[in-house]
Each structure stands twice: as structure tokens, then as C-alpha cells.
Structure 1
Amino acid sequence: MARSPILLFAIAGVVLLLVRNLSTRIYYARLARRHGCKPAKPLPQGERILGFSLFKEQMKAAKEARLLPLMVQRHRDHGNTFKGAIMGREFITTIEPENIKAILSTNFKDYKLGREDALGPLLGKGIFTSDGARWEHSRALLRPSFTRDQISDLDLLETHVLHLLALIPTDGTTVDLQPLFFRLTMDSATQFLFGESVCSLLDTEHKAGNAFATQFNFAQSEVVKRYRLGPMRRFYRNKQFDEACDFIRAFVGGFVDKALAYNATFKSIQDVEQNSSRGEKERYVFLQELAKQTNDKETLTDEILSILMAGRDTTACLLSNTFHALARHPEVWRKLKAEVALLEGRRPGYEELRQMKYLKYIMNESLRLYPVVAGNSRVAVRPTVLPVGGGPDGRSPILVHQNQPVSFFSYALHRRTDLFGPDAEEFKPERWETLRPGWTCTPFSGGPRVCLGQQFALTEAGYTIVRIVQMVGGRLESRDEHAWAEKMGLATCSFYGVKVGFVEE
């Protein structure tokens, strides 16, 4: 009896898939033996083929603001490195400093971000979505704009800090500082980047800027949804998100056009020299400097949006998490006030901020206990090896397959009592008097992708903290009985906000 061609093709296809699968298994088995690799401990799962139950568990935990405690508990139950399957894809999760160093630094070229399809509609092909040669170009383009001279100019920041201080009551009335911090950093970031602030702290006077801030907040929340959906994001559509991205990119595009036009008018060195000879000091504008290196509007828009996202969220979350902790630790607040009092009411300069040790300890401890980037991931672009985490004792190397995701949660790593002591979950700035963490604590990432704006964020946050102490002062009280819980966006802050009162002493 003759078999139909369709059936024969189907059988041949199945055989080819089986052969390919077998050859892949043999290839990886040989690689594992060559490098002495052993498998990571598997996460107990009812079904590992699709891993849909794990996906649902994590989505539910994220919605209930308890994904980070869930990850901490998983590592306590199943070790510092384990593997699992989610939505049909096997992953590895680790909180071993040696592995994080390998991912971010030693074997940097073996990994990619793998996030362009999630973040691309908003950020395009900028530094936070690109890999390889494109990323190298982005970093080379942006690096010259983060010089010490630019981040040490605190005069423009003072203007926005004064707007913030005007909204903080000094009579003990409860205020939620978190939304104010996000408005502050939006204002200061747009001033630094565009040369014009959206002035969201003065939102009644700047409707266009306030609309931009609103759309930016919405677009970011949607980007996080897309990222969490993983492979399922291809089925997720939101017209409002598309419209928000169009609005945001058009808004920023207007500033790009202005910068290109400005540079076309004042493009020669002679123009700059003539202005200088007349005593005219040009105010630094990030976008104008960037536009001197490329006149491609899309590239400029992509990079500026990436820096705006990081510049706003990183500092706002650091400030929010820090004041959440300060309000619950009056002894730390008193010691901070004593250090600030040494300024005798003067606005701190850049070098003075760098010399304020206890302020630095406070920010370091905030970044340790409540890391702004609480978790991260990479995708292997080729077969590679993690130094530890395999075998029964977790000390053998692990083979990472091509296209396999590897995630790492700083929030869980920073709570390891074997690394930070039995008080690892306590807010204790004094630990930084002797703590030199290396790869056990990298709040601004590490390796080639270490955050370009690290000093910018620390300077802005430190200056704002000092000015609040100087201008508001008093006793800082918590007005919220909730323990800290995560509000996870592209950066992590407090789910319940930062409700406090400043009481006169």
C-alpha cells in the first residue's frame, strides 16, 4: 500500500528533528566534559516542558509586589544557582559573585542583553537595547558627555531642588516624597539633556512638559509588562502604548531638531572662541554636545531617551529608598544631620559631597539593601561556562547553552548572610566603614557595561539629601506602617511610596 507524500514528508521531518536534537545533546555533553561542567540544581516544577505554572507564579508575585522576596526564598531553598524552565525555555538563575563577574566582565562577549524587542518601541536602538558593534558605538558616543566638569556643576540642580523644597511641608504634615523625587529628577534630567526643563514640579505652568512626564510614566509601565511577558510579548498589543511612544519620540525629536539647528549655526571653533573672548560662557547642554558627534536624528533620539530613563529613574529610586530607610532609623538621621551641620549652612560643592563619608555610607547601604536594579539578565550568544554552581555541592562549572537566558538578582545576593553577616537584612550604614564588596555588590553593574552616569546619580542624590537636611531639617518621622515592598519598573522603588513628616525639634 503506497504511503502519501505528505505522510512521508511528516515522518522525514520528525526524524530530522530527532537527529538534530540528538546531535545537539551530544555536542553539549562533549563540551560539558571538556570543561568539567556539571548541571545546576533543578528548581522543582510540576511541568518543565512549558513551565507555564512558574510563569503564572512569578506574574502573580510581581502583581502583588512580592517577586523579590520570592526570589530570595527560592535561593535559600534551592541554592545560590539553579535552573528551571519557563514558557518552554530553560534558564539559569544565580547569585554567585563569581558567576556575575563572568557574565558582566570576564566573558562579557559571550552574552547579549536580549531586550530590544521589549524596550525598542520606546528606546529604539540606544545604549540600553543594543549589543555588539552598535552598543560599542553608543558607548563611545555618550562617554565624553559624562565628564567631571559636567556632573560637578550643581547650580542648575539647585534651582530644581528649591522647587522640590517648596512642596515639602515643615509643620509635620504628611507628605509622600516619592512622586516628588520622580518629578525632581525628570526636571533636572531634561534640563541637563535638552537645555530646557519640563518643570513638572511647577506643573500648573508647563502643561506640555507635564504631558510628556505622564506619557513617559505610562510607556515605562507598559515596557515592564512587555519585558515580563517574555516570548508571549509577541501576542501583546496596546494601542495606547504605541501612541505614547509616538508622542514621547516626537517630543524629544523637537529638542533634537533644535540641537542640530544650533550646531549648524555655531559649528566652528572660531564661533566658540569669539563667544569666549567676549566673556560669554556657553551653558553645557548634553544634546548639543552629542549632536556634534552625529547628525542622525533617530540615533540622537534613541540615545537621549535611554539616558533620560536612566537619569530620572535611578536617582529618584535611590532617593525614595534612602528616605524610606532614614524615616525608620532615627539614629541614622541624627548622625546624618550632624555631618551636614559641619557645612554651617553652606551649599555643598562637588568635592565637599565626595568627602561626606556618612552620607556616602547611607547611599551605599540603600543601594545594597534596596538595589535600584534589583535583577537583571543576559542571553548567551554562544556556548559558554559559568565558573560555579554545578554539581551537588554547587562548586563545579556550569555549561550555558547558546540562546539560554541567565538571570541574577542583586536583591537576593545582597541578603546573603555568608557575605554580609547575620544582619544582612538590616539597614546599617556603618558596615561600609570596613566593607569592600567587589562583585558581591554592584548596584551600577560592572565590566564594560558599568553605568556611565554612576557619579551623576550619586552626586544628584547626595546633593538633594543634604539640601533637604539643611532646609527642612527637624525630626524625620515615618507615616506609613508598611514594610518596604517593591515597585518594580525599569528601576525599583517603594510600592507604598515614602510617606513621612518633618517635625520641628
Structure 2
Amino acid sequence: MIQARRTNTLLEWHRKILNVPGQTVELRMLGRIMILTENIENVRAIMSTQSTCFGKGATYHKIWSSFTRDSILTTDGHAWHTNRSHLIAHTGKIRPTDYVVTKRHTQNLIRVLSDGKPHDTLNQLNRFAIDVVSDIFYGSSTNTLLTNDQSLRDAIQHHKNVNTWRLLFGKIGAWIPPDRKACNVIDTYLDSVFHSFSLEGPDSPEERDRKAQTLLGVLIAQGVPEKVLKDQLAAVLVGGRDSVAIIVTWALYELVRHPNIMRELRAEISTTHGKSDPPGPSELEGMELLNGIVQETMRVHSSVGLNTRTALKDCALPTGGGPTGKSPIGVLAGTALVMCLDSIQRRPDIYGPDANEFRPHRWDNKWKPDPWTFFPFNLGTRTCLGKNLAVMEVKFVLCRLVQAFSSIEMVEHIGGEVVVVKAEEREKMKTKLAFNTKPAEVVWLRFKK
């Protein structure tokens, strides 16, 4: 497992060892029991029908609370329900001002990418996404796209890398210290966001009203304690940043590898909407191929390739055990469970013999798979609250980038020179696990007007 993690082949390793009756295996590592499964009935039980038996658990909380604090991402029981109640009203729907904010920062992104130079695509999109999420939920943007100071972005990424390794070692990992410097950078930022929030100043009445209705503005008005409020800010900072940046990066990577699909998308955007004006909500929903590209990207390149839970008490999984893989499995309290969602979304018995291929047209005519075979934002009680906002951002920024640039090239640096490569002829990019699942190498793209 450790070797696969180092070589960015962990997802492939999971698929290999889960190729057994019942698609469920038990591992014993460093004195702990771990169950891996891609069995749909087991995943449904963990996420939904038996969700009270499974949670994040004490070890996960000890490791990740250094980053995501006591937020919805690390807590169980009453604390989780309280966190959810603070967030759901602000993340469960898209507000008209969210389009305005997304449009503003997409213009910044286009401006940055218009210099004719190669760009680390995930890096730029991470900066874009953190600018949008901070503006929408805090009322003030980090504006990382427009500054050379990337200390916050770097701290978040490094902290995630360290904690992913800590989690691999279970209870032992909880005793390994996190990156204290990264923790301090993130905490300092959250402190500044909280203490600098104000509805006074030169902003227009409309902007002051928008800030008052943000997550930060409403929670302050409700008198939520500072510590609890910062927990919520940390949750949306992580949840709102990662998925958008990863999905758009993978989508651009696949479009460059499939120039015929790119041409079709350009034609759809031009025919449906036009070549220059930003699309509205109904126009985004009306573009079948754009929607298919986003859905297929989330299927082939899930940003949540793995999802973990801990058994909170002695219980059982419904199936996956015994010689035929159809018997129940006893699960002791404290057992770690890993749901291999990426494996499910690539299973040939579910998605056909081309399950590993990027084929957006499989989503034509509003085709939908069984809900329990597609997990871009989880399912069950812990479904991502901000999924609608995230999908809107992904569609909007993809549409605008295709409108703004006549060509998007994959390049690499050879001998100090930038060389255009035929992306469709290159070996497929591996996937890296670091809290989320993302491209294992830099996706260098050059955008041309």
C-alpha cells in the first residue's frame, strides 16, 4: 500500500486486490484492521442505511482537526449535526450573487492565462477556486490570482500532503505531528477574516447587503462563538476549493487529449449561446455536451476517489464475506473502512467495456446511471452540501475558457524550451492521493487567444 501510494498507483492497486467475490477485502496493517470495499451494497450501508454505525472516528479527527478543525468534515454525532445546521442554508443553493462573483474571478483567471506562457493548470485553478469560495462565503476574496503571495495556498496543500500520510498509519499517524508552520498560516488567515469583517466602508449598498448575507455575515449576526464560526470557515475553504479546481483541471486535460470533443464543445457553445458573452444559469443547463463532459470527468477522475469511515460500534456489513462473497461481515468498533469509489465508477460490469475511457456522449439524452454507482460528491447523510455551487462553477469556467481561447495546447519543458506535445499520444496521467485525488504530475497547458 505504501509503495503504491509513493508511485501514484494506489487506485490501480485497489482495483487489483478488490477483484475477488464480494469486492471486499480485509487488511491487517500496523496492528489495525482495515476493510476495503467497492461492493455497492456495502457502500450504501456505510453511507446511508447504517450511517449511524459509521463515522469519521477519533483517529481521523485527531489527524485532520489540525487542518479542518472541529468542522463538519471531522466530526460525528451531535457536533456534526450542529455544523451541518450552520452550513446548509448557505451552501445548499445557488444565489444570484454567486454567478456575479464567479464571473468576476473567471475574468481574472482569463487575464492571467492570456500571457501566452505555459501554466500549471491545477495551480492556477486552485487559486481561482479559493478566490471564489472566500468571496462567496466570507464576503472578501483572497485574490490569490492577482498576487505573488501564495503562502496560504501552499500551506493548505502541504498540510494535506502531510496529513494524508499520517492517516495511512492510523493511530500511529495521530501521534505524528502535523506541519505546525502550515497550521499557523491557515489559522492566521482565518483570524484575519473574522476580525476584519465589517459592513462599514466605501462598498456600495448592494455589496454591503451581499456581505451581510454571506456565511460569515450571518453567523456573526447570530452570535455564533468565534471558535465554532472559524470551524465553519475552514470547512467551506477546503470543500469549496478542491473539487472545482480538480474537476476543471481534469476536464481540460481530457479535452486536449480528445480534440474532436473540444471541437464539438466549441460548436455547441457557439450555437447555443455565442462566442463571447458569459452564459446564464439556464444556458449552462441547456448545453448537453458541456454537461456530459463535466459528468464524465467526475466519473473517470473522481476528486473523492477514496472515502474513509470508522466503525463507531460493533456492527456488520450486509455482504462481501465468505467463499462466495455473499455473506455478512462482522465489523468491530474502531475498524477503518475505505470505500473505493473510483473503482466503482470504472467497473466494466456497470459502465460497459469502455468504462476506463473518457466518453462524454454516454451521458447524451439525459442518461443517468444507478445513483449508487456514481459518487462525485458522496451520497447519503454526508453528501456534499455545496455540490450545486461547485458544478455551476465548473460549467461556467469551462465555458468561458473555451470562449476566451481559440486553442489550448499541452506543452512540456525540454532543454529550456517549451515544446507542444500530442496529448492524445501520451501515456495517461496517473492519479495522486492527497486528501483528494488529483493529477499526479503538473498539467502544463498554454492558452492562446
TM-score (norm 1): 0.79
Identity among equivalent positions (%) equals 26
Shift of residue 362, structure 1, vs aligned partner = 0.8
Match of 2:68 among 96, 100, 123: 123
Aligned with 2:36: secondary structure?
A: strand
Matches within 5 A, 1:79-478: 80-114=23-57, 115-150=60-95, 153-169=98-114, 174-204=118-148, 207=149, 210-237=150-177, 241-259=179-197, 281-283=209-211, 284-341=213-270, 342-344=272-274, 345-433=276-364, 434-474=367-407, 476-477=409-410
Q: CA distance change for structure 1 residues 394 and 299 in 2, over 3 Å: closer, same or farther? A: same
Shift of residue 447, structure 1, vs aligned partner = 0.9
Q: CA distance change for structure 1 residues 170 and 141 in 2, over 3 Å: closer, same or farther? A: same
Shift of residue 372, structure 1, vs aligned partner = 0.3
Contact kept, 8 Å, 2:22 with 2:319, in 1: the verdict is no
Contact kept, 8 Å, 1:112 with 1:379, in 2: the verdict is yes
Shift of residue 104, structure 1, vs aligned partner = 0.4
Contact kept, 8 Å, 1:151 with 1:459, in 2: the verdict is no
Shift of residue 105, structure 1, vs aligned partner = 0.5
Contact kept, 8 Å, 1:361 with 1:430, in 2: the verdict is yes
Aligned with 1:252: secondary structure?
A: helix
Q: CA distance change for structure 1 residues 335 and 69 in 2, over 3 Å: closer, same or farther? A: same
Give the match for residue 270 of structure 1.
none
Q: CA distance change for structure 1 residues 438 and 242 in 2, over 3 Å: closer, same or farther? A: same
In 1, distance between residues paired with 2:427 and 2:445? 12
* CA deviation string 1:188-207 (max 9, x = no partner): 11111222212111114xx4
* CA deviation string 1:409-452 (max 9, x = no partner): 11111121111111110001111233322101111111111100
Q: CA distance change for structure 1 residues 141 and 470 in 2, over 3 Å: closer, same or farther? A: same
Max Rg structure:
1
Q: Which amino acid aligns with 1:144?
A: A
In 1, distance between residues paired with 2:223 and 2:382? 22
- Structure 1 unpaired stretches of 5+: 1-57, 267-274
Shift of residue 78, structure 1, vs aligned partner = 6.7
Give the match for residue 417 of structure 2.
none
Shift of residue 167, structure 1, vs aligned partner = 2.4
Give the match for residue 428 of structure 2.
483
In 2, distance between residues paired with 1:399 and 1:176? 46
* CA deviation string 1:237-284 (max 9, x = no partner): 35xx1232123112212222234x65xx99xxxxxxxx79xx985444
Contact kept, 8 Å, 2:21 with 2:323, in 1: the verdict is no
Q: Which amino acid aligns with 1:61?
A: A
Aligned with 1:394: secondary structure?
A: coil
Q: CA distance change for structure 1 residues 147 and 386 in 2, over 3 Å: closer, same or farther? A: closer
Aligned with 1:125: secondary structure?
A: coil
Contact kept, 8 Å, 1:294 with 1:300, in 2: the verdict is no
In 2, distance between residues paired with 1:170 and 1:334? 23
Q: CA distance change for structure 1 residues 350 and 148 in 2, over 3 Å: closer, same or farther? A: farther
Shift of residue 286, structure 1, vs aligned partner = 2.5
Q: Which amino acid aligns with 1:164?
A: L
* CA deviation string 1:373-404 (max 9, x = no partner): 11011111122222221222212222222222
Shift of residue 131, structure 1, vs aligned partner = 0.2
Contact kept, 8 Å, 2:118 with 2:446, in 1: the verdict is yes
- Structure 2 unpaired stretches of 5+: 412-420
In 2, distance between residues paired with 1:78 and 1:230? 27
In 2, distance between residues paired with 1:243 and 1:409? 32
Contact kept, 8 Å, 1:152 with 1:350, in 2: the verdict is no
Q: Which amino acid aligns with 1:408?
A: M
Aligned with 2:393: secondary structure?
A: helix
Contact kept, 8 Å, 1:161 with 1:464, in 2: the verdict is yes
Contact kept, 8 Å, 1:151 with 1:456, in 2: the verdict is no
Give the match for residue 73 of structure 1.
16
Contact kept, 8 Å, 1:325 with 1:427, in 2: the verdict is yes
Q: Which amino acid aligns with 1:62?
A: R
Shift of residue 134, structure 1, vs aligned partner = 0.4
In 2, distance between residues paired with 1:203 and 1:174? 18
In 2, distance between residues paired with 1:147 and 1:116? 24
Q: CA distance change for structure 1 residues 152 and 318 in 2, over 3 Å: closer, same or farther? A: farther
Contact kept, 8 Å, 1:87 with 1:231, in 2: the verdict is no
Shift of residue 359, structure 1, vs aligned partner = 1.1
Shift of residue 285, structure 1, vs aligned partner = 2.6
Contact kept, 8 Å, 1:94 with 1:407, in 2: the verdict is yes
Q: CA distance change for structure 1 residues 435 and 92 in 2, over 3 Å: closer, same or farther? A: same
Shift of residue 148, structure 1, vs aligned partner = 3.1
Q: Which amino acid aligns with 2:187?
A: R
Shift of residue 225, structure 1, vs aligned partner = 2.3
Aligned-residue RMSD, C-alpha: 2.3
In 2, distance between residues paired with 1:396 and 1:306? 38
Contact kept, 8 Å, 1:126 with 1:303, in 2: the verdict is yes
In 1, distance between residues paired with 2:370 and 2:296? 12
In 2, distance between residues paired with 1:379 and 1:497? 33
Contact kept, 8 Å, 1:142 with 1:290, in 2: the verdict is no
* CA deviation string 1:46-86 (max 9, x = no partner): xxxxxxxxxxxx12211111111111111125751111211
In 2, distance between residues paired with 1:436 and 1:77? 23
Contact kept, 8 Å, 1:482 with 1:496, in 2: the verdict is no
In 2, distance between residues paired with 1:151 and 1:484? 37
Shift of residue 319, structure 1, vs aligned partner = 0.8
